[in-house]
């Protein structure tokens, strides 16, 4: 170390092949070290303050009361969890200490019963963003502090006193929980029941199609839409007065952080500008490249080459299964704003069991594609026609192992796509028409649900939703019982599309293969075609 310092001090102007150590240290990203237990945390004032804030919040909410230890009830242990929260630019935002219950010791029927609690689907969030962009509305965000502490428990639950906060002279006593603690099996359900009741009492109507979506229409004022994902609340609307009243009401009811305009949600960055909203996952993409050692790799122009066919048992060596699963799982979450890698990520997901070196190499190639497109995302713009339109497509016997086809669809609402999927079909299709017919049926179910959600938003969709398909035989089969020899064996559930067409829910229309936007979800494409569809 001394020799390095002396070398840098020798030069008045540091040569290009050397770098000043102060510059190197300034650019180094400091690793975040989080304490493992209370003893380690108690040595740092920042973490002590975070723990004090957590206990203060618990007591302020009347979460528990100190009682004698019961002889006939199990006692649930508690522990401290520490997490450093970072901003999008990597700077420390806050130190968060959370007291959690050891819920893994709970037994069903004794200290918990029902546990299910819904969360908002990403499709719903993107639909809300697309609608806000189309209407020119701003999206806002609230964060509920210690949300689960507001959930009222129906069961009788006791916990130990937490480390560092044991009441002197009462060491033998335990806490009886009146409200939920993080870590309890029933905590999410208790919180959801609490906020659901409050919103319904405040005049909101819950969507029958999305349990975490609430809408409030006031004649003469406007519309307010609220979506909940655990402790994150996203809201928008046409009336600024209703938005302000809702914010004040919620902050009076619960301890909340007013985050203002929506900027970051579930790892998704949101950039709101006049006339458009752009969503991306740049920070998450960069973290993946850093995590898997490809931060400075050479990028590629397409995720998968058209000639590359993957299959099980390709006779190459076995790969690290844990590493492969981590990469594929991360890529699948990246598709929240990156539908351009949906096909390739879904193909890799078929080989989670016993992946080969070839599969791992393909996964790394997709990361190399991400390296060159970290700034990519989806832009929703105002001004285009507010028309729900879908595209459906399918390959034929695309899976090299079982010869099953894959259904793909995508929907837009005036600008960028906001709903998409890639679903492997459950049975082997005997013709391209059959594969396309089943794909159109899958897309119809999604179109029906999206129409329900948009109706809840207040959007009246009078006309059938156009669903674009590039197979004339599939279109003919959906409108009339033709091609009996080709279709007599198709499962009855796929004929749901015929009812949807007769009821005016969708209108299956023909489009040329060159105009089929869902083609990018169907197979690996050549560079020119891929870039043209990606936009």
CATH number at residue 479: 3.30.420.10
Is 320 a domain residue?
A: yes
Q: Tell me the pLDDT tens digit for each residue of 182-211.
A: 999 999 999 999 999 999 999 999 999 999
* Model pLDDT, residue 13: 38
Mean pLDDT (whole number) for 274-289 = 94
Q: In the numeric block, which tokens belong to residue 119?
A: 């969360």
Residue 410 domain-assigned (yes or no): yes
**Residue 423 and residue 472 in one domain:** yes
Query: Which of 276, 307, 331 represents a domain boundary (last residue)?
Result: 276
Q: What is the pLDDT of residues 415-447, one digit of tens each?
A: 889 999 988 888 899 999 999 999 999 999 999
Banded pLDDT at 315 (limits 50, 70, 90): confident
Give domain status of residue 262, yes or no: yes
Instruction: Kindly state whether residue 83 falls inside one of the protein's structural domains.
Output: no
Helix, strand, coil share (%) of the chain residues, nearest 5? 40, 25, 40
pLDDT at 89: 65
> What is residue 302's predicted lDDT score, i.e. its pLDDT?
93
List pLDDT tens digits, range 336-391: 999 999 999 999 999 999 899 999 999 999 999 999 999 999 999 987 677 899 99
Distance CA 145, CA 54 (A): 10
Domain boundary among 211, 246, 276: 276
C-alpha torsion sign, points 493, 499, 500, 501? positive
The rounded mean pLDDT for the chain is: 88
For residue 400, pLDDT over 90 is answered with: no
Same domain (yes/no): 219, 205: yes
Mean pLDDT (whole number) for 119-145: 93
Are residue 521 and residue 432 in the same domain, yes or no?
yes
Q: Is residue 515 part of a domain?
A: yes
Q: CA-CA distances (angstroms) from residue 159 to 106, 179, 461?
A: 11, 12, 52
CATH at residue 240: 3.30.70
Q: In this structure, are 411 and 508 located in the same domain?
A: yes
Residues 143 and 238 in one domain: yes
pTM summary value: 0.85
Regarding whether 249 and 314 lie in a shared domain, the answer is no
Q: Are residues 369 and 436 in the same domain?
A: no
Residue 488 and residue 513 in one domain: yes
- Gap between the Cα atoms of 172 and 164, Å rounded: 15
In a domain, 99, yes or no: no
What the block records as the tokens of 448 is: 């029906």
Residue 364: C-alpha distances to residues 452, 530, 532 (Å): 39, 19, 24
Quick one: 375 and 392 in the same domain?
no
| Enclosing domain of residue 436 | 383-534
Q: Among 164-168, 433-437, 486-490, name the one with the lowest average pLDDT.
A: 486-490
Residue 337 is predicted with a pLDDT of 95
Q: How many CB atoms lie within 10 A of CB 377?
A: 20
CA distance 354 to 433: 34
Residues 316 and 440 placed together within one structural domain of the fold:
no
Are residues 316 and 330 located together in one domain of the fold? yes
How many domains is the chain built from? Answer: 3
Pairing of strands 64-67, 174-179: antiparallel
Inter-residue contact 428 to 394 (CB < 8 Å): no
Q: Are residues 238 and 132 in the same domain?
A: yes
Establish if 113 belongs to a structural domain: no
Final residue before a domain boundary, out of 348, 381, 414: 381
């Amino acid at each position: 170390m001394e020799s390095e310092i002396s070398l840098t001090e020798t030069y008045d102007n540091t040569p290009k092949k050397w770098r000043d150590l102060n510059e190197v240290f300034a650019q180094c990203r400091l690793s975040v070290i989080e304490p493992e237990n209370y003893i380690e945390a108690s040595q740092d004032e920042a973490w002590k303050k975070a723990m004090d804030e957590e206990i203060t919040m618990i007591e302020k909410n009347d979460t528990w009361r100190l009682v004698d230890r019961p002889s006939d009830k199990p006692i649930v242990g508690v522990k401290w969890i520490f997490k450093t929260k970072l901003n999008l630019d990597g700077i420390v935002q806050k130190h968060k200490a959370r007291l959690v219950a050891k819920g893994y010791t709970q037994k069903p029927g004794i200290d918990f019963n029902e546990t299910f609690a819904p969360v908002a689907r990403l499709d719903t969030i993107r639909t809300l963003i697309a609608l806000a962009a189309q209407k020119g509305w701003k999206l806002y965000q609230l964060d509920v502090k210690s949300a689960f502490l507001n959930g009222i428990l129906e069961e009788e639950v006791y916990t130990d006193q937490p480390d560092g906060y044991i009441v002197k002279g009462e060491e033998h006593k335990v806490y009886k929980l009146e409200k939920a603690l993080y870590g309890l099996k029933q905590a999410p359900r208790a919180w959801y029941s609490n906020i659901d009741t409050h919103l319904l009492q405040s005049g909101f109507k819950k969507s029958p199609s999305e349990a975490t979506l609430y809408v409030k229409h006031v004649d003469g004022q406007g519309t307010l839409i609220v979506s909940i994902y655990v402790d994150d609340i996203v809201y928008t609307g046409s009336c600024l007065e209703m938005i302000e009243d809702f914010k004040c009401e919620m902050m009076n009811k619960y301890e909340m952080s007013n985050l203002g305009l929506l900027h970051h949600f579930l790892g998704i960055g949101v950039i709101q500008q006049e006339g458009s909203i752009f969503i991306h996952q740049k920070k998450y993409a960069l973290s993946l490249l850093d995590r898997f050692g490809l931060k400075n790799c050479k990028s590629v122009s397409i995720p998968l080459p058209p000639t590359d066919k993957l299959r099980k048992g390709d006779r190459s060596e076995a790969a690290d299964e844990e590493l492969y699963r981590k990469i594929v799982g991360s890529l699948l979450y990246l598709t929240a704003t990156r539908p351009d890698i949906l096909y390739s990520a879904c193909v890799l997901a078929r080989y989670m069991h016993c992946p080969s070196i070839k599969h791992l190499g393909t996964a790394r190639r997709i990361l190399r594609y991400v390296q060159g497109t970290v700034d990519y995302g989806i832009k929703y713009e105002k001004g285009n026609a507010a028309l729900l339109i879908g595209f459906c497509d399918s390959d034929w016997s695309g899976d090299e192992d079982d010869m099953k086809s894959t259904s793909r669809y995508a929907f837009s609402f005036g600008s960028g796509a906001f709903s998409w999927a890639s679903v492997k079909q459950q049975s082997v299709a005997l013709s391209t028409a059959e594969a396309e017919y089943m794909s159109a049926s899958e897309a119809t179910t999604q179109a029906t649900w999206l129409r329900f959600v948009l109706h809840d938003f207040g959007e009246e969709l009078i006309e059938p939703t156009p669903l674009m398909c590039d197979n004339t035989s599939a279109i003919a089969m959906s409108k009339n019982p033709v091609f009996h020899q080709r279709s007599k064996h198709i499962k009855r559930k796929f004929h749901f599309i015929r009812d949807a067409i007769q009821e005016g829910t969708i209108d299956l229309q023909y489009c040329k293969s060159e105009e089929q936007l869902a083609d990018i979800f169907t197979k690996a494409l050549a560079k020119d075609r891929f870039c043209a569809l990606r936009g």
